[in-house]
Amino acid sequence: MFLSQPSSFSLLQASETLERILLQNIVPFWYPQTLDRQEGGYRLNHDLQSQYQGASEKYLVSQARTLWFFSRLSNSPYGTDDHRKAAQHGYQFLRDRLWDKEYGGFYWIVDASGATPLQIGKHLYGQAFALYALSEYAIASQDTTALELANQLFTCLEQYAYDAQHGGYRECFQRDWQPMSTKIGYLGVPPTFKLLNTHLHLLEAFTIYYSVTQDVNVHKRLMELIVITSNAVVRKQIGVCTDQHHLDWTPVNSRENQQVSYGHMLETVWLLAIACQTVELSNHPLLDLYRSFFRYALQYGCDRRRGGFYESGYYNTSANQRKKIWWVQAECLVAALQMYQLTKEDLYLQCFYRTLDWIVKYQVDWQQGEWYMEILPNGQPSGCKAGAWKAPYHNGRAMLQCLALLTDL
């Protein structure tokens, strides 16, 4: 219906291609060069040509995402003991340098050595990734201290951030967990807003955390996050989800909030599917929602000629932000294959194949390693290879997740 031509891929060829990207392009870039042997944690400051640009601040989000990747990789058929040690290396930095030993929770940014916190506030976007990484590392390493730290973090979220009146979580706090008093929070919006972006990653983190703990209260919060991400953030008349909401989940009435992120919408599809499986809920009652998200993204955000997905666009209009960002391609790849597994509808398999074809031809840097952050509308690559917002989490996860899905088809 939306895709101009079928792909020549087969399931076997797709699996071989995913393995090649993972083992020949992604892993060799991130290991061992990103390990900071001197200061701890990960060195994430590489330019478009994959050249290291020197010591830089260390952000909770990217440190946790890289820890998550090495943990997940080490626990996969493609992992090695070296990858487990790389995860341990990152865990120690998270525990010893980013954790606030006085008030609990994780700092947003520390300096390159980790000795000096630079932004000490607590944002739940970062806390979500820390919980995600700690839970994955606990599985990979069987290190009980990681699970203990995850439990302490969950207690902080329960005590300070959970919104018992409206559901979900308040997001921005000072170091001592008092409400942030600035007009703009760390993600560029007022600190009183509730974001799909943050709650989607809480859903992601609570899914794996619950799989580790089987805790009744975690189950309750995860069920609530499933409701939020499948209902409260959805603009039902249009069939999309929007990012910004007031505390009571009323959508923010602004032109900016009418900008639909195709990547977040399709990431929501597969993260909801995994969350439902984890709590033993059938995905069938949500299939129409998933289809509506996909239908919208294909209609307005898909490059029907060359493949791949654009960044975003306003309601019911073609994309106006037409860069092709690495993480959007990665999340759409997983969502398409997840939908094919759930429905066996060929549309999703063809979308998976065509997105993979775009990635292989244009997003992957086969000469210098890793994926280009952005491909501009003129076809030129742009952005860094590693940085505050560029880690192996999106594309590394997509390869591992899709390879696991393909074994079940």
pLDDT of residue 353: 97
Structural domain contains residue 387: no
Domain C-terminal end among 195, 217, 247? 247
Q: Are residues 232 and 134 in the same domain?
A: yes
pLDDT of residue 374: 99
Domain C-terminal end among 215, 247, 279? 247
Please compute the mean of the pLDDT values over residues 290-298 and round it to a whole number: 97
Query: Of the ranges 5-9, 40-44, 100-104, which one carries the lowest mean pLDDT score?
Result: 5-9
Q: Are residues 241 and 261 in the same domain?
A: no
From the list 202, 306, 194, the residue with the least C-alpha distance to 248 is 194
Contact present, 202 and 124 (Cβ < 8 Å): yes
Summary mean pLDDT of the chain: 97
Which residues face 122 on adjacent strands?
Answer: 173
Contact present, 167 and 232 (Cβ < 8 Å): yes
The CATH number for 18's domain is 1.50.10.10
Structural domain contains residue 264: yes
The rounded Cα 222 to chain-centroid distance in angstroms is: 17
Q: With 80 as the cut, is the pLDDT of residue 227 above it?
A: yes
Which domain range does residue 360 map to? 1-30+254-373
Residues of the chain with pLDDT > 70, as a percent, come to 98
Structural domain contains residue 326: yes
Q: With 50 as the cut, is the pLDDT of residue 128 above it?
A: yes
Q: Are residues 228 and 286 in the same domain?
A: no
Structural domain contains residue 72: yes
The total domain count for the chain is 2
Contacts of 385 (CB under 8 A, 6+ apart): 29, 46, 47, 48, 49, 50, 365, 368, 369, 370, 371, 372, 373
Structural domain contains residue 145: yes
